[in-house]
Amino acid sequence: MTRAMDIWLGPYLRQRLRPRPLPVGRPLRLCLAVADHFEPYWGQASQATARARLAAWEEQLPILADGLADCRGQAPQHDFFYPIEDYQPWLLDGLAALCAKGLGQVEVHLHHHGQSTAQLEDMLLAAAQTMHQRHGLLRRDQQGRIAYGFIHGNWALDNSRPDGQWCGRDDEISILARTGCYADFTMPSAPDRTQTRAINAIYYATDDPARPKSHDRGVPARVGQAPAGDLLLIQGVLGLDWRRRKWGLLPRLENSDLSGGNPPTPERAPLWLRLAPCVEGAEDVRFIKLHCHGAPEKNQSALLGRAMRALLEHMLRWYNDGVRHKLAFMNCWEMAQAIHALERGESLSW
């Protein structure tokens, strides 16, 4: 946990000195999304293993969500950020069919290194076009471009690893903006050194093509303020959890990760609510973006079994009474659209 704390601990402590009050006379509205770095070929898996990993989600995700609905009547959402370097038509078709049941969306994940600006741009544009035209995935934005959400492999967005590996492009923020990325969902990455100084934030990064990690800081999303940068970043929660102590003494790192080793338990929910980012000026709406690596077998039992079901039921029981809280299950695209609506000064319809 101590790795990378020099990057984010100072900003975290300053945030904790500025507690956000709960709304008076109206419910606190919570937007919950799950962004899965979904890698069926993780660990150099065979095609048979990749098929079995997809089949587990095809079979069990509908069972997990059965009978659960948010304040709008929508089922829990699970977004699959698929690594485009591992493109397989049958895999995308399977994910498309699963998401057609109203359980999430498919977005773009990428592990890469060494491409030129033009090569990386062509790779992203070609992948988005294939996903949209061949598989019916993604969507078009108001300008008519195919729009995609993005998670960078190995957390190395905008060449942010200190060793310069697993990216190599200091102008990646600009490339994403030009190719239709509507928002990045990579952060938080702690305890990795790619972690940004901006934490628990929804903000806009402006690219410096001559330097890495342009998203280290940015301009916060704010009511009444138009987008003020090249790319919107929607972060998950990062902080210290004193309720779940290691060895009964030290706080655990809360980095929004759901896994077999860090299972989705109700005990984590209060800290998510406390630290969840918001649009400045609309603090009564908080955005909880969780992430996972759902394909490996070591994580499937936690994400598709009793632990995840118990968490979802807990969230509905305690945070969806309509008086103190309202809960909306969102896919990542919906989350970005809700943020833009708040920026325009619009009230959410639920």
Q: What residues have CB less than 8 Å from 345, skipping those under 6 apart?
A: 223, 224
How far is the C-alpha of 253 from the C-alpha of 222, rounded, in Å? 28
Do you find a cis peptide bond into 188, omega within 30 degrees of 0?
A: yes
Question: Which stretches of the chain are DSSP H helices?
Answer: 5-16, 47-65, 89-99, 117-135, 172-178, 269-275, 297-304, 306-318, 332-343
Residue 2 has pLDDT above 70, yes or no: no
How does pLDDT run across 271-296, given as a tens digit for each residue?
999 999 999 999 999 999 999 999 99
Is residue 315 packed enough to be buried (19+ CB in 10 Å), middle (13-18) or exposed (0-12)? buried
What is the per-residue pLDDT for 22? 80
pTM above 0.75, yes or no: yes
Q: Which two tokens stand for residue 211?
A: 């330097």
Q: With pLDDT > 90 as the criterion, what percentage of the chain qualifies?
A: 93
Average pLDDT over residues 172-188: 98
How far is the C-alpha of 29 from the C-alpha of 12, rounded, in Å? 23
Q: Around Cβ 51, how many Cβ atoms within 10 Å? A: 16
For 276-308, letters b (16+ CB in 10 Å) and e give: bbbbbebebbbbbbbbbbbbbeebbebbbeebb
Residue 18 has pLDDT above 90, yes or no: no
Q: Around Cβ 260, how many Cβ atoms within 10 Å? A: 16
Do you find a cis peptide bond into 191, omega within 30 degrees of 0?
A: yes
- Bridge partners, residue 320, by sequence: none
How does pLDDT run across 232-259, given as a tens digit for each residue?
999 999 999 998 877 778 899 999 999 9
Average pLDDT over residues 292-307: 97
What is the per-residue pLDDT for 249? 82
Using a CB cutoff of 8 Å and minimum separation of 24, what contacts does 100-104 make? 101/62, 102/74, 102/75, 103/61, 103/62, 103/65, 103/75, 103/76, 103/77, 103/78, 104/34, 104/77, 104/78, 104/79, 104/80, 104/331
CB 219 within 8 A of CB 279: no
Query: What CATH fold (topology level) applies to the domain 5-17+26-343?
Result: 7-stranded beta/alpha barrel (3.20.110)
Average pLDDT over residues 258-264: 97
Which amino acid is residue 52, in one-letter code? A
CB 219 within 8 A of CB 203: yes
Q: Which two tokens stand for residue 141?
A: 């934005």
How does pLDDT run across 182-223, given as a tens digit for each residue?
999 999 999 999 999 999 999 999 999 999 999 999 999 999
CB 195 within 8 A of CB 228: no
How far is the C-alpha of 326 from the C-alpha of 5, rounded, in Å? 33
78: Cα within 13 Å, side-chain hemisphere: 26
What is the per-residue pLDDT for 1? 52
How far is it between the farthest Cα atoms of the chain?
55
Could you write out the DSSP letters of every residue in 205-255? E---TTSS-GGGS-EEPBTT----SSEEEE----EEEEEEEETTTEEEEE-
What sign for the dihedral angle of Cα 136, 138, 139, 145?
A: negative
How remote is the C-alpha of 310 from its chain's centroid?
A: 21
